[in-house]
Amino acid sequence: MDTLKIGASARTPEVDFDFDANVYRLKGECYPEDIAEFFAPLMDRLREHFARLRGARVDFTFELIYFNSSSAKAILGLFDLLEQTAKAGNDVAIVWACEEGDDIQEMGEEFAEDLTAAKFRLQLGE
Amino acid sequence: MLAEEMYALRQVLSRNGIGYCYSGCMTEEILLGIGNAIRRHMQAREADAKTSRSVFAVFVEQVQNVIRYSAEKLDGGGPPEMPFGILAVGDLDGDIFVSCGNLVAAADVPRLRANLETIRGLDKQGLKSLHKDVLRGDVPEGSKGAGVGFIDIARRATRGIEFDFTPVDEASSFFTLKALF
Nearest to B32 among A10, A99, A102 (CB): A10
Digit-coded pLDDT (tens) for B11-52:
999 999 999 999 999 999 999 999 999 999 988 887 788 899
Digit-coded pLDDT (tens) for A41-68:
999 999 999 999 999 999 999 999 999 9
Q: In this structure, are residues A55 and A20 in contact, taking their beta carbons and an 8 Å threshold?
A: no
Q: Tell me if residue A54 falls in helix, strand or coil.
A: coil
Q: Is A7 left (phi over 0), alpha (psi -120 to 50) or beta?
A: beta
Digit-coded pLDDT (tens) for B80-119:
678 999 999 999 998 999 999 999 999 999 999 999 999 9
Nearest to A73 among B50, B128, B135 (CB): B135
Contacts 24+ apart (CB under 8 A), B41-44: none
**Residue A14: pLDDT above 80?**
yes
Longest dimension (CA), chain A: 38
How many Å is the Cα radius of gyration of chain B?
A: 17
**Residue B146: pLDDT above 60?**
no
The amino acid at B166: T
Q: Which residues of A touch B64 (CB under 8 A)?
A: 31, 68, 70
**CATH number of the domain that residue B120 is part of:** 3.30.565.10
Task: Quote the pLDDT of residue B144.
Answer: 41
**Residue B162: pLDDT above 70?**
yes
**Residue B143: pLDDT above 80?**
no
**CATH number of the domain that residue A42 is part of:** 3.40.50
Nearest CA in chain B to A103: B50
Q: In this structure, are residues B66 and B102 in contact, taking their beta carbons and an 8 Å threshold?
A: yes
DSSP string for A6-48 = E---SSS-EEEEETTTTEEEEEEEE--S-HHHHHHHHHHHHHH
Which residues does B128 contact at the CB level (< 8 Å), separation at least 6? A110, B155
Q: Report which of residues B143 and B61 the model is more confident about.
A: B61
Chain B contacts to A (CB-CB under 8 A) = 28, 32, 49-50, 53-54, 56-57, 60-61, 64, 128, 131-132, 135-136, 147-149, 151-152, 156
Q: In the predicted model, what is the mean pLDDT of chain A?
A: 95
Nearest CA in chain B to A106: B128
Q: Which of B29, B62, B135, B139 would you mutate first to test chain A, the one with the most A CBs within 10 A?
A: B135
Per-residue 3-state assignment (H helix, E strand, C coil) for B62-94: HHHHHHHHCCCEECCCCCCCEEEEEEEEEEECC
The amino acid at B148: V
Domain interval for residue B72: 2-180
Please state the pTM of the whole predicted model: 0.91
Digit-coded pLDDT (tens) for B43-86:
888 778 889 999 999 999 999 999 988 888 877 666 667 899 99
pLDDT over 90 percentage in chain B: 72
Q: Which residues of B touch A102 (CB under 8 A)?
A: 49-50, 53
Task: Give the minimum alpha-carbon distance from A73 to chain B in angstroms, rounded to a whole number.
Answer: 5
Domain interval for residue A39: 3-125
The distance from CA A38 to its chain's CA centroid, rounded to whole angstroms, is 13
Q: Which residues of B touch A99 (CB under 8 A)?
A: 49
A96 φ/ψ angles, rounded to the nearest 5 degrees: -115, 100
B121 φ/ψ angles, rounded to the nearest 5 degrees: -80, -5
What is the total count of domains within chain B? 1
